[in-house]
Amino acid sequence: MTSAPVVPPRPAARLSPLLRLLILTQLAFNVGFFAVLPFLSAHLGQSVGMAGWLVGFVLGLRTFSQQGLFVVGGALSDRYGIRPVVLAGCVLRIAGFAWLGYAERTAAVIGAVLLIGFAAALFSPAVESEVARQAVVHEEAGGQRTRVLALFTVAGQAGAFVGPLLGALLLAVDFRAVCLAGAGIFVLVLAGHAWMLPQRIPGRQRVRLKHGWGTLIRNRRFLALCCAYGAYLLAYNQLYLALPDEVERATGSQSALAWLFALSSLLVVTAQLPVTRWVGSRLSLRRSMVAGLLLIGTGFAVVAVSRPADWTGTAGLVPSAGFVVLLTFGQMLVAPVARAWVPDLAEEGRLGLYTGALSSVSGLIVLLGSSVTGSLLDGRLPAVLPWLLLAAVPVAAVGLVPRR
């Protein structure tokens, strides 16, 4: 009896030059952006002299002009291709950072911040949609779609880690030097993309702007994915709302927050790819997203269960550290999967529109949900209850995850 011939394993597909460029783009985008953003509120309050409410308003405008308009940038990239949209976004970001460095009046600051936000609303959905499309091509060549999106996430997280370090060094000069350095990074990105980004990308169609919106609104599976992703983002946003309150309660200050944020970044940079590789061979996109949402819910439950003990000092930080670890591992499962899923749900030729809509719809959910969670944390509820209610958000979102 002859045995069947042994078929050698198919070699892992290598990343295309375009994918490598787009992943490095995400790294550069975040280095430039996070060199400036962490120091903006202090600059507005101390150097420009804005009241606290006005600082919050300006930061909210930046978020709205970015996340809220992602759908516009995505639609434009479908119509004109990613090259002109990315290049235009880089030009606007350079102008916005330079303007912010010299802005001394409220109107000028608002104008610069709106320009900075809208720049990202152009280039980010263009890049993200093409990465998602190229991830499908990579999968067809024998690679793993989610691995591509995981690499994209790692590059962004590495940029978010390096950027503040660069900004802190330059802040020794002044805030203007920080802004000009951020603008300089985008000058390099602009030059690199003008040289290396193809005029036409094979397989990418150009479609009219006015079509596609009705189909998107009627796409219940895609909207369900947006809502589930929005629940994840609302939970993730508690790193900036609920976690600071818990750390201050436990230690009397928020100084330990920097270490907890560093822990989250370090976990993503070091563990994202191994986690994606392990999960990708065992779980479907739906099961991976469900597992991530349940991990995030468990993170909130860890803090809720510990609150009656009222631990303080170093022991009081243990639940917070557990929350950060579980939230970060949940993020590793949810974020790449949600982006990888969009090409399966998007209308042909409308990947930019759908990628932008994922960010805009989920961003709106975060905007509305944050006011509710903020009132929960500020209220006179029993200490356990806000954390239990926050734990229920990602758990309830499991029911929204569409079935493939």
CA neighbor of 354 nearest in space, from 128, 95, 123: 128
Q: Write the pLDDT tens digit of every residue in 390-400.
A: 999 999 999 99
Q: Crossing angle, helix 82-102 and helix 17-34, to 10 degrees?
A: 20
pLDDT at res. 52: 67
pLDDT at res. 206: 65
Highest mean pLDDT among 46-50, 57-61, 248-252, 323-327: 323-327
CA distance linking residue 178 with residue 167, whole number of Å: 6
pLDDT at res. 308: 84
* CA torsion angle 343 156 153 395 (round to 10): -100
Identify whether the C-beta of residue 27 lies closer than 8 Å to the C-beta of residue 158. Answer: yes
Tell me which of 38-52, 140-154, 348-362 is least confident. 38-52
4 band by pLDDT with thresholds 50, 70 and 90: very low
Pick the residue with more confidence: 245 or 84? Answer: 84
379 band by pLDDT with thresholds 50, 70 and 90: low
Question: Quick one: average pLDDT of 33-46?
Answer: 80
Pick the residue with more confidence: 382 or 317? Answer: 317
pLDDT at res. 10: 46
Q: Write the pLDDT tens digit of every residue in 168-190.
A: 888 888 889 989 999 999 999 99
Which alpha helices (H) appear in 43-105, and where do they start and end? 52-63, 70-80, 82-102
Amino acid type, 316: G
100 band by pLDDT with thresholds 50, 70 and 90: very high
85 band by pLDDT with thresholds 50, 70 and 90: very high
Pick the residue with more confidence: 51 or 397? Answer: 397
Tell me which of 73-87, 114-128, 309-323, 354-368 is least confident. 354-368
Question: Quick one: average pLDDT of 119-137?
Answer: 88
372 band by pLDDT with thresholds 50, 70 and 90: confident
pLDDT at res. 298: 96
Angle subtended at Cα 265 by Cα 263 and Cα 270, rounded to the nearest 5 degrees: 95
2 pLDDT higher than 50 = no
The residue count for the chain: 404
